[in-house]
Chains A and B, each alone.
Chain A
């Protein structure tokens, strides 16, 4: 499976990255190489194999249903690049 520049551009939108034409060119070849290497997994017969998402296959871990203090709002917002008194500020989501 080879990768085209337009595949890379499409994926960059999904990944919320904005790439320069030079980056797209470099990534098309580098990702292509890596994907080609990864394709060797196709050699292995995994028809009867269950996927394993986690090395330690845990049962569900329940937390007690109790109210505990959380960080004060001001501390949570302390790292926000753009904020007002009690919320994060972002560019308008809906039209002007």
Chain B
């Protein structure tokens, strides 16, 4: 077990020096998963034999003197929305329950080339829509700090498996906070890179102008290690940025001289849990003690972030998810039942006009397939997006939201004139009890208040542990930086982690094992 408390950076160096085999390490994580997965349910799929096979292959390659790559035999968990050739990729949806992609996402190809052992597929909200994992069609992941509470979402499994020491590194995706929010609620470090920093090729799409893949791990150093593998230009994703990838792992330990920290006052004024506010204010003192200058800044349009996001994201989703048509791949409704249903409706029709209004068999096939294949939250967002884009409402909702999006970007530009990084809370409160937002979708949406801005503006953001509530639940600190300043963000986060030990805290069941 003590092996599982080591950082990914330490483990890579043990593997490189031949003091540890990938097979032994992978087995240790698989045993940890086996022991605690019954409670945590972080994974949708773990293939023990396949993982050990990959590890043994890597060990053989190392024994033969080959370069194993920067991850050199380290297990990595991936969110179940990254297409992996021949491996079921469900997106936690009935729609894709049996979908086996015929190709690898660029991120998966990069992980393989870097010597990662793909240890398992993590649970999420269906199609990455949600903040609690409760929208998964298959299971609800529990928060390792308190299994009565949500792990956050949508990358809830990705964060929970790191907190439960089931994997040292984990890959998630973030459309409105889906890496940073679960990282905060599970007490781990998670980074949403700049839009375009990591290729989205092979990522099952939710909202294409907002989606971004990123790393989760225990520490900023470990996040730097994984980001360096994931980041880079990809000709297969025309929105990926063609800029060199810095050596994050080389620079992460260098403190930033004269760092200017902007405390986002708008994010402290909203209804914030007092424990969260106290932890964030304490983090400000930590940065001051490290020599940073802290100044208050304002993002005046951030209060409109949720309204803007919940027009744009569902609009893009309604368009992206139109591809699930029961014809090309994924679920399809039973056809004989469909024909029988239509025949009965034709027989019951009172007039030719009424009969003419009935769905054609093809349209009914689409409608039944999608209604049976999608869960409630996905349907809600498709409906919302379709409504916002429909004739007569497009200008009032979608176009209006795009204009406010520009104002939000301009707020950030102005704030970054005064500050190198922006600081605030990740979430309004620590992890909520399971079921808290069951009949209140808008209430759930409002918890994304502090994170959606970074997606709308395309900038980088990181969540790192900065305290605990009185009930002992983790609290996350949110740092944001301008586009392509991941290096600055990681260095600022590492500075904090040299002065605090919140990132070393583990849930009792992990801390007590040895």
Contact status of A56 and B195, CB under 8 A, knowing A15-B386, A46-B407: yes
The contact of B332 among A35, A49, A81, by CB within 8 Å, is A81
A35–B457 alpha-carbon span in the complex (Å): 23
Q: In the complex, are the beta carbons of A49 and B403 less than 8 A apart?
A: yes
Shortest distance between the CB of B139 and any CB in chain A (Å): 23
Q: Is the CB of B326 within 8 A of A40?
A: no
> B67 within 8 Å of A by Cβ?
no
Chain B contacts for A37, CB-based, 8 A: 306-307, 310, 442
A90 with B442: in contact, given A38-B310, A51-B406 (CB under 8 Å)?
no
A25 contacts B by Cβ under 8 Å: no
Q: Of A13, A55, A90, which one neighbours B458 at CB under 8 angstroms?
A: A55
Cβ proximity bits B390-421 to A, threshold 8 Å, 1 near / 0 not: 10000011011111111101000000000000
B239 interface contact, C-beta 8 A: yes
Docked-complex contact A31 and B387, CB < 8 angstroms: yes
Task: Flag B356-378 by CB within 8 Å of A: 1 or 0 each.
Answer: 00001111111110110010100
Residue of A nearest to B399 (CB): A51
Among B330, B382, B409, chain A packs the most CB atoms within 10 A around the CB of B382
Instruction: Judge whether A67 is part of the interface by a CB distance below 8 angstroms.
Output: no
User: B99-107, B172-180, B291-299, B463-471: which lies at the A interface?
Assistant: B99-107
Q: Which of B228-287 contact A (CB under 8 A)?
A: 235, 238-239, 241
B18 interface residue, CB < 8 Å from A? no
Most buried by B among A14, A23, A58: A14
Q: CB within 8 A of A15: which of B383, B442, B458?
A: B383
Considering the chains assembled together, what is the distance between the CA atoms of A76 and B101 in angstroms?
Answer: 9
| Bound CA span A40–B401, Å | 11
Q: Are B407 and A81 within 8 A (Cβ)?
A: no
Contacting residues of chain A (30-44) with chain B, CB-CB under 8 angstroms: 30-31, 33-35, 37-38, 40-42, 44
**B322 is an interface residue with CB less than 8 A from chain A:** yes
| A-chain residues with CB within 8 Å of residue B370 when the two chains form the complex | 15-18
Please give, as numbers and ranges, the residues of chain B lying within 8 Å of A58 by CB-CB distance: 238-239
**Interface assignment of B1: CB less than 8 Å from any CB of chain A:** no
Question: For residues 289 through 341 of chain B, which have their beta carbon under 8 Å from a beta carbon of chain A?
Answer: 301, 304, 306-308, 310-311, 318, 322, 325-332, 335, 338-339
Q: In whole Å, how far is A57's beta carbon from the nearest beta carbon of chain B?
A: 9
Q: Which residue of B lies closest to A20 (CB)?
A: B371
Contact check: which of A11, A27, A55, A63 meets B456 at CB < 8 Å? A55
0/1 per residue, B177-200, Cβ < 8 Å to A? Answer: 000000000000000001110000
Residues from 47 to 75 in A contacting B, C-beta threshold 8 Å: 49-56, 58, 61, 63, 71, 75
Give CA–CA (A30, B310) in the complex, Å.
13
CB nearest neighbor in A for B240: A61
Query: Does chain A have a CB within 8 A of B436?
Result: no
Is there a chain A Cβ closer than 8 Å to B433's Cβ? no
CB-based nearest A residue for B405? A52
Do B400 and A88 touch across chains, with their CB atoms under 8 A apart? no
In the bound complex, residues from chain B placing their C-beta under 8 Å from that of A41 are 304, 307-308, 311, 397, 400-401, 404
Q: How far is the CA of A71 from the CA of B102 in the complex (A)?
A: 8
Complex CA–CA separation, A54 to B387 (angstroms): 21
- State how many angstroms separate the Cβ of A37 from the closest Cβ of chain B: 6
**Alpha-carbon separation in the docked complex, A46 to B331 (Å):** 43
B400, chain A: closest CB distance, angstroms: 5
| B61 cross-chain contacts in A, Cβ below 8 A | none
Contact call A30/B441, Cβ cutoff below 8 A: yes
* Complex: chain B residue closest to A79, CB-CB: B329
Residue B384 CB within 8 A of the other chain: yes
Q: Quick check: A61 and B441 within 8 Å, CB to CB?
A: no
Assess whether A90 is in contact with B402, with CB atoms less than 8 Å apart.
no
Using known A-B contacts A53-B402, A81-B331, A88-B327, determine if residue A17 contacts B99 with beta carbons closer than 8 Å: no
Q: Given the complex, which residues of A lie within 8 Å of B407, measured CB to CB?
A: 44, 46, 49
**Interface residues in chain A, defined as those with a beta carbon under 8 Å from any beta carbon in chain B:** 1, 3, 7-8, 11-19, 23, 27, 30-31, 33-35, 37-38, 40-42, 44, 46, 49-56, 58, 61, 63, 71, 75-76, 78-82, 88, 90-93
The 15 sampled A-B contact pairs (Cβ below 8 Å) are A13-B367, A15-B383, A18-B370, A34-B310, A41-B311, A52-B403, A53-B209, A55-B409, A56-B239, A56-B241, A79-B99, A81-B330, A81-B332, A82-B335, A91-B338
Q: 6 closest A-B pairs (Cβ-Cβ)?
A: A55-B458, A79-B329, A51-B402, A81-B332, A91-B361, A18-B367
